[in-house]
Amino acid sequence: MALTSGTELGPYKIVSLLGAGGMGEVYRATDSKLGRDVALKVILQEFAQDAQLMARFQREAQVLASLNHTNIASIYDLGESGGVSALVMELVEGPTLAERIKEGAIPIEEALPIAKQIAEALEYAHEHGIIHRDLKPANIKLTHDGKVKVLDFGLAKPLPDDASAHNISNSPTLSMAATKAGIILGTAAYMSPEQARGKTLDKRTDIWAFGVMLYEMLTGQRPFCGETMTETLAAIIEEEPQWEAIPAKARLLLQRCLEKDPKRRLRDIGDAMPLLESAALPGLVAPPPARRQWLWPSIAAVLLAALALLSFAHFREAAPAAEPTRFSIPPPEEAAFVSGPPWGSPLAVSPDGRRIVFVAAGKDGKRRLWVRPLDSLADQPLVGTEGASAPFWSPESKWIAFFANGKIMRVAATGGEAQTLCQCQSGGGGGTWNQDNVILFSPAVAGASGLFRVPAAGGAPLAVTTLDSANGEIGHVWPVFLPDGQHFLYNINGGDRSGIYVGDLNSTKRLRLLPLDEISTLGYALPGYLLYVRGRVLFAQAFDAKRLSLADDPIRVLEGVENAGPGSAAFSVSSSGVLVYWGGAVPRSEQLTWVRRNGMRIATVGPPGAYFHFSLSPDERRVAVTRYEPGEGGLHTAIWLLDVLRGMSTKFTFEWGAGMPVWSPDASHIVFASSREGPPALYQRPTSGPVGQDEVLVKGGDNHPTDWSPDGRTIVYEVLDAKTRNDLWLLSLSGQRKSVPLIRSPFNETGGRISPDGRWMAYASDESGRDEMYVTNYPEPRGKWRVSPEGGTQAEWRRDGRELFYRAPDRKVMAVPIKSGANFDAGTPQALFEIPPDVGPWLQGGVDQREYAVSSDGQRFLIGVKVGEESSAPLTVVVNWTAGLRRD
């Protein structure tokens, strides 16, 4: 948006461009009203159009403008003119401290007065409840008259425990704006150890950065540095500065500022003042204690002998191996890491090990991609990636491909417009990108397909592998290219053939490397390791990528990897030796709540729980809920029954992976899906009596029940098919219990619900490009009527058949009047109420998952209301992770 000289923005006339920042360009301008020069930071249009961000930005600018101190650059105004928003700041002439340090070390008599003014600015800000968080020499200006000005409090944050900050504690800080703009929050070399680990920060992080700057002023060198960002962070966490390079009389001050444990660090920057003043006094260094001169020859002889022995031993030893370094990354502000359907790892580290892309959901509940440089605390959301899952990088670490909304897409790691590469089933089964710009992917979220290739620029997918359905194969998923770009690792899912295989782009031949019943996301890392997860344990096994052979036994790398379902192991590894994994989230609870048609809450049902699908019994006395709960290897699902009147809850299933309950018309049985023996199969169980009376109804494939016919004779269920995607089938419960397809097409059909009179069935289909609600004849689908004008899922009928309900894309429950008669006659849908946005984070993929239930008279609705917060483990980054393997 570069502005030319002479451009006027309100009373400000542009003179020249001074530079560019994360949120826009900075110009020298003249204030025509007051006749003074100012610095004008023109905010990029993409951020200025975000009303919520600009409101927060304005509130925090007002707070920071209240910092009236001679050593803090002032903020004058935040205005808008002609659609351009700008921050008006004090124009500070002179070089930055970074420019001064480039000339060489600063003499102590010059450095200490500079440090004193910086400390005074920080003390004032801290007293007013503000921490800077991005102190570095580039943010310090040195005026020509000897004044010091601290700049760029744009990343500042209120102190959480400071009473003076209470008047702004209800307002998000500028750090949120900075995060969205992609500004580096704390250059790596100046981060405190707690900042590098992603922990909660207080004013002591500024004290650390102050110490780093003073060290650099006095020596001309940074105390912690490395060739890469990860080496720099490792040095901050583990290494000590070269104290002998510091003048003795300033050493105590720096040691107090650079304590790695914040509890032992200076608590207040004001405590540095006496040390600064003492260091500035001449002749302060105490003389060494008197020595007995006659001891020195003897001591010297002993030392020389010892040094000789040590030298001999030292040069015979090999250099010690580098140790793995770990640090943590918390989720973005007002967002949470997410995984679980659609499947796939929710994170990926770039091949060069410099950045991580991950899936996180904001307060609006939308999943999108974020990018985090490892030398920064800034998380940048990528616009246009809503609904994303299973991201993967281009080999040069510049692009990110991902699955979203039935497509494979790509976006630049630095942001920009997302591009569609090809169509793909919702969720996808993983992808990989080679140096010849070929993308290899699985198009089906639950497998049910071979692998396909597509050019990285987009085009028509071509089949690479084919399912051997006759021998039980039901999916090829989670491919990973090997270094030659021709061979690849992938999972085959299906009975005796399940395992990890090697495939070839130029051949149909394949090689089974490892039998593995549990589908896992895969990884390959130099110098030659295959990585996979069993349960929540990450394993590595030596693998020769040229000979395509495994060696030795698998090594346990670490435990506690999130593994929410098939192929959802949350880990990634780079070719540069960086491993990233996530420990998962503890789902927040929902309280099942009755509401009226206008959304007014009237009663609760049962205890809160991590529910994501529920079904009201026909007699309205019980609710069957699918609930997440901890188990071996991570979170699992089980079905519980909640008593509507008494509020009691009883566990209904005890095996792994049960869910999606559907009641029989007389409430005597429940049919449900269970993954206890592989892909979801259908089981039936009585709702009373002893446990263990499960009856298998449908086995093989990927099946989920959606309804039970009013006459009790038929079950409607979904089947994921390799060719026709999600279809609706009928299972007869009489005679030979045959299954027949009801609606089978190239599109996804979900959530079939039979009308109370047994004449019609409502269902959702994405044949128009998005889910819409349709009604067809039952049990013979002759006609078809679309009843949702703007999208819909999750159909429910009123008991008398006079209304059909569904959930619209904006989360509103809609009611459609239905006239009884020989022909289907639907009225105009009317919005009733909105389901709370924090409900239903698990609602992804093609299966029918319910967020509401309706009473028989259609006057009350059962919904989930958020209770408490979801707690999320941070991402863990392990630099030089293979060093740990050598010790095993």
pLDDT in tens, 349-376: 999 999 999 999 887 778 899 999 887 7
pLDDT-based confidence at residue 323 (cuts at 50, 70, 90): low
Closest CA to 704 of 649, 766, 749: 749
Query: Containing domain of residue 755, as a range?
Result: 589-869
The least confident of 534-548, 720-734, 741-755, 814-828 is 720-734
Judgement on whether residues 54 and 110 belong to the same structural domain of the protein? no
Residue 280: per-residue pLDDT: 66
* Average pLDDT, integer, range 583-602: 85
For residue 138, tell me if it sits in a domain: yes
pLDDT-based confidence at residue 176 (cuts at 50, 70, 90): very low
Judgement on whether residues 64 and 100 belong to the same structural domain of the protein? no
Output the six-digit token pair for 99. 């420019």
Judgement on whether residues 428 and 532 belong to the same structural domain of the protein? yes
CA 108 to chain centre: 46
3-state secondary structure of 661: strand
**Residue 102 burial (CB count, 10 A):** 11
Separation CA 6–CA 419 (nearest Å): 38
- Return the CATH number at 140: 1.10.510.10
pLDDT at 705 over 80: yes
Residue 839: per-residue pLDDT: 40
**pLDDT tens-digit profile of 764-779?**
998 898 899 999 999 9
3-state secondary structure of 589: strand
For residue 299, tell me if it sits in a domain: no
For residue 885, tell me if it sits in a domain: no
For residue 71, tell me if it sits in a domain: yes
Residues facing residue 29 across a β-bridge: 14, 38
Non-local CB neighbours of 593 within 8 Å, separated by 6+ positions:
601, 603, 604, 605, 862, 863, 864, 865
Non-local CB neighbours of 275 within 8 Å, separated by 6+ positions:
252, 253, 256
pTM of the predicted model as reported, rounded to 2 decimal places:
0.50
Output the six-digit token pair for 502. 């090697």
Closest CA to 124 of 185, 203, 195: 203
Give the CA count within 13 Å in the CB-facing half-sphere of 674.
22
Among 267, 293, 328, give the residue marking a domain's end.
328
Say how many domains are in the chain. Answer: 4
Separation CA 210–CA 92 (nearest Å): 21
Evaluate the omega torsion of the peptide bond into residue 817 and state whether it is cis, within 30 degrees of 0.
Answer: no
Judgement on whether residues 103 and 115 belong to the same structural domain of the protein? yes
Judgement on whether residues 371 and 271 belong to the same structural domain of the protein? no
For residue 309, tell me if it sits in a domain: no
Judgement on whether residues 355 and 453 belong to the same structural domain of the protein? yes
* Average pLDDT, integer, range 169-183: 29
Contact 215, 223 (CB under 8 A): yes
Separation CA 64–CA 52 (nearest Å): 18
Higher pLDDT, 453 or 866: 453
Residue 243: per-residue pLDDT: 92
**pLDDT tens-digit profile of 401-448?**
999 888 899 999 988 899 999 988 655 788 999 999 999 998 865 456
What is the average pLDDT score of the chain?
82
Closest CA to 614 of 835, 773, 427: 835
Contact 475, 429 (CB under 8 A): yes
Catalytic residues: 134
Among 91, 120, 136, give the residue marking a domain's end.
91
Separation CA 773–CA 750 (nearest Å): 10
* Average pLDDT, integer, range 475-500: 89
pLDDT at 662 over 90: yes
Output the six-digit token pair for 190. 């100046």
Radius of gyration of the chain (CA): 32
pLDDT-based confidence at residue 53 (cuts at 50, 70, 90): low
SS3 annotation, 114-178: HHHHHHHHHHHHHHCCEECCCCCHHHEEECCCCCEEECCHHHCEECCCCHHHHHHCCCCCHHHHH
* Average pLDDT, integer, range 328-357: 83
Judgement on whether residues 468 and 546 belong to the same structural domain of the protein? yes
pLDDT-based confidence at residue 246 (cuts at 50, 70, 90): very high
For residue 263, tell me if it sits in a domain: yes
Judgement on whether residues 478 and 534 belong to the same structural domain of the protein? yes
Residue 46: per-residue pLDDT: 62
pLDDT at 683 over 50: yes
- Return the CATH number at 355: 2.120.10.30
Judgement on whether residues 179 and 195 belong to the same structural domain of the protein? yes
Residue 587: per-residue pLDDT: 64
Judgement on whether residues 425 and 545 belong to the same structural domain of the protein? yes
Judgement on whether residues 560 and 477 belong to the same structural domain of the protein? yes
pLDDT at 616 over 80: yes
- Return the CATH number at 41: 3.30.200.20
Residues facing residue 392 across a β-bridge: 401
Output the six-digit token pair for 277. 């003043």
Among 538, 564, 585, give the residue marking a domain's end.
585
Non-local CB neighbours of 625 within 8 Å, separated by 6+ positions:
592, 606, 609, 611, 613, 614, 615, 639, 640, 641, 642, 661
Output the six-digit token pair for 783. 């006609």
State the DSSP string of 442-501.
---TT--S--EEEETT----EE-----GGGT--EEEEEEE-TTSSEEEEEEESGGG-EEE
**Residue 553 burial (CB count, 10 A):** 8
For residue 412, tell me if it sits in a domain: yes
What number of H helices and E strands is found in the chain?
A: 11, 63
Residue 85: per-residue pLDDT: 82
pLDDT at 546 over 60: yes
Residue 309: per-residue pLDDT: 36
Separation CA 625–CA 615 (nearest Å): 6
Closest CA to 533 of 345, 357, 686: 345
Residue 870: per-residue pLDDT: 55
For residue 888, tell me if it sits in a domain: no
Higher pLDDT, 282 or 556: 556
> 18-27, 175-184, 283-292, 426-435: which has the highest mean pLDDT?
426-435
Judgement on whether residues 200 and 86 belong to the same structural domain of the protein? no
Orientation of helix 272-280 relative to helix 108-127, angle to 10°: 160
Contact 845, 820 (CB under 8 A): no
* Average pLDDT, integer, range 14-28: 79
Residue 23: per-residue pLDDT: 62
